[in-house]
Amino acid sequence: MLGIGTWEFPVSIMVYNGTVQMDITHEGGAYGFALRVPGAQEHIPPVEIKSVAENGNTLNIVARVPQFPRKDIPVSVTFDGDSATGVVKAPFVGKITLKNGRKIA
């Protein structure tokens, strides 16, 4: 089980400049995720997790949103103690690099 807890990532892209928080849980043999974007939460669609795979200290996640039901959104997050980095490939936004992630709870 990788990354269990609450993580915070600074994000600076064309449509948003701020902090993204991700809760990672593990219950009954399955990962759970919740995404919060303070100040822009109303613009975040519900996210469906299609798959989660562990590879060393990296979680590889495939998600989808209702607006793009046939487009996978690959997310890769690598954990190193209380820090994390990653990449999200969002439809029509492109590659979002997650740097300087830190565990906050």
Delimit the domains of the chain by residue range: 5-103
pLDDT 10s digits, 58-95: 999 999 999 988 999 999 999 999 999 999 998 888 89
Q: How many C-beta neighbours within 10 Å does residue 22 have?
A: 21
The band of 3, judged by pLDDT with boundaries at 50, 70 and 90, is very high
DSSP type of residue 89: E
Kindly write down the DSSP assignment for every residue of 12-77, as one continuous string.
Answer: EETTEEEEEEEEEEEETTEEEEEEE-TTTGGGPPP-EEEEEEEETTEEEEEEE-TTSTT--EEEEE
Average pLDDT, the chain: 92
